[in-house]
Structure 1
């Protein structure tokens, strides 16, 4: 049997990324923290913690951290069921990682149901895919949204559907900057609005549009979906925006679609533990249900630019490389 105090101390050390901060959080001495971690490592005959700054788990530590997180979730769920009155026990802490464009469009429907249930104390981390994947593998989050179809060992990637992006500008900007439509000379002379320097979605769009790469054009970087939309809507440039996010502004006449017959589709996947506690399984089911209702079905046969692979920015999609199938990908977005 693993010692619960040792397990909890180990988890807090990883979460706080420091022995000193963990000691403060647990109201014990720094020496007591070290002794518990050492005893746990000896009982398992393996090193669990890299004593660097910041502290991080070893591969064995990542496995153990996932176990502790699952244990916390199962314990919290059991205490809620055993409580004499509904909602008497504290909500169960859960952490998930979500890309910014999802947070700005369809994911609030998930948040509404989770937060109003009062069953979980939710932490949402918006970050780039490389970092969120590390958070998932370490057990710091129970799942993350990614454009990669390939799941790591011990995880499952479920297809959620696709986000649709279109290229927008204000009517005045479109007339002045693109009098002859979206041409190579006009693109080179006109600023585009991008999410950040890692955002290659606009490059992918232009390459698909013209048949060759174009990257030497002026760029504004606004690392927020709301700020990016407002930047385009104020006439600072043109850019790719999720169509659901832009639709109210289009309906008001403030934005027009520069390429009505050219959309960009981005497949999204929910990566989660292969063996989930019941509460985490319920969260996965909710995310899949809402996504399949709100996202675009890829069954529609229409010429589109499909972006899949690894997303290097918090916005989400970024590379037009083929999605790599995995035996742990539960559904193919192309048949969703």
Structure 2
């Protein structure tokens, strides 16, 4: 049998990033946390935590943490409403991976809808939408918004819709950098904005417009809101979610580099097949918000 107090200590260390913060959350001493984790490692014959700043799980440690999250979720549903538990003790937490642009656009409506029908809490982990499925595969989360339609083992997949993007910049930026229009040469000179090194939306749009890869000076702005703000300030051109750019396009504060030349990112919802009612409630809320705010996926 697994030692669940030790598993809880392991999960807290990985979640909080340190033995000290895990001790604070669980209401015990750092020494007690260290002893529990070390005892679990000795019993299983495997290193479960990489000690560092922050601490992280090894592969076997990650599997155990995933098990703890699933058990905690199911136990929370089993004991909900029992008179001996406080409301706080009966509230499960669902850890979900999603991309920053979804969090800035359509997902808040899903979270709000979910909160009206459930007392559960959300723990949102941000990552690139092409890599969130990996978080689910590694057992770090219970569900994910992803661009990967291939089901992760043990998961269900739901097509959500397409999040549309526009290539936009301030009018002054366009006048300075695209006086003769948008072509290969102008795109190679004009500074662009990227979220991080995995952000390929600008390349995808540029290929569609000019037929060649984008080779341009780049500003790195790891924030959806921040990228919109620096676009408005004239720092560079960016691929902005249409939902956030639309008011600024309407006011003239932003203009499209090529009018109506937009691209969409197909999004999917994947979640573990746990049979947990609270996870199904969240899925229903996500489906509802996506149906009202995302665009239909293009066929083919």
Q: Report the TM-score when normalising by structure 2.
A: 0.83
- Cα RMSD (Å): 3.2
CA displacement at 1:106 relative to structure 2: 0.7
Partner of 2:294: 295
Residue pairs, 1:85-96, within 5 angstroms: 90-96=90-96
**CA offsets, 1:7-64, max 9 Å, x none?**
433433443455666456541574675457646875xxx5464353246555554444
> Does the alignment pair 1:67 with 2:70?
no
Query: Which runs of 5 or more structure 1 residues have no equivalent in the other structure?
Result: 300-333
Corresponding residue for residue 252 of structure 2: 253
Partner of 1:53: 51
Q: Secondary structure at the match of 1:206?
A: helix
| Matching of residue 204 in structure 1 with residue 226 in structure 2 | no
Query: Hey, what's the Cα distance between the residues in 1 that align with 2:120 and 2:156?
Result: 22
For the Cα contact (< 8 Å) 2:188–2:217, is it kept in 1?
Answer: yes
Q: What CA distance in whole angstroms lies between the structure 1 residues aligned with 2:233 and 2:37?
A: 57
Partners of 2:226 and 2:137 lie apart in 1 by 31
| C-alpha deviation, 1:207, in angstroms | 1.4
Q: Displacement, 1:105? A: 0.8
- Tell me if the contact between 2:133 and 2:144 (Cα under 8 Å) persists in the aligned partners: yes
Distance 1:25 1:71 in 2: 19
State the SS of the aligned residue for 1:202: helix
Secondary structure of the 1:108 match is helix
Q: What do residues 106-131 of structure 1 show as CA deviations (whole Å, max 9, x unaligned)?
A: 11101222345560222212234577
Matched residue pairs, number? 297
- Structure 2 match to 1:145: 145
* Distance (Å, rounded) in 1 between the aligned partners of 2:221 and 2:37: 46
| Counterparts of 2:33 and 2:233, CA distance in 1 | 58
| 1:227 counterpart residue number | 226
The residue matched to 2:160 in structure 1 has which SS? strand
Aligned to 1:100: 100
The equivalent of 1:272 in structure 2 is: 271
What does residue 243 of structure 1 align with? Answer: 242
Residues of 2 paired with 1:176 and 1:264: CA distance?
A: 24
Quickly say closer, same or farther: Cα 1:254–1:117, change in 2 above 3 A: same
CA distance in structure 1 between the partners assigned to 2:74 and 2:288 by the alignment: 23
Note closer, same or farther for the CA distance 1:47–1:164 as it changes in structure 2 (3 Å cut): farther
- Which runs of no fewer than 5 residues in structure 2 stay unpaired? none
User: What is the CA–CA distance in structure 1 between the aligned matches of 2:201 and 2:130, rounded to whole Å?
Assistant: 17
> Would the aligned equivalents of 1:65 and 1:138 in 2 still touch at CA under 8 Å?
no
Q: In 2 relative to 1, CA 107–21 (structure 1 residues): closer, same or farther, beyond 3 Å? A: closer
Report the equivalent of 2:163: 163
The 8 Å contact of residues 81 and 90 in structure 2, kept in 1 or not, is answered as: no
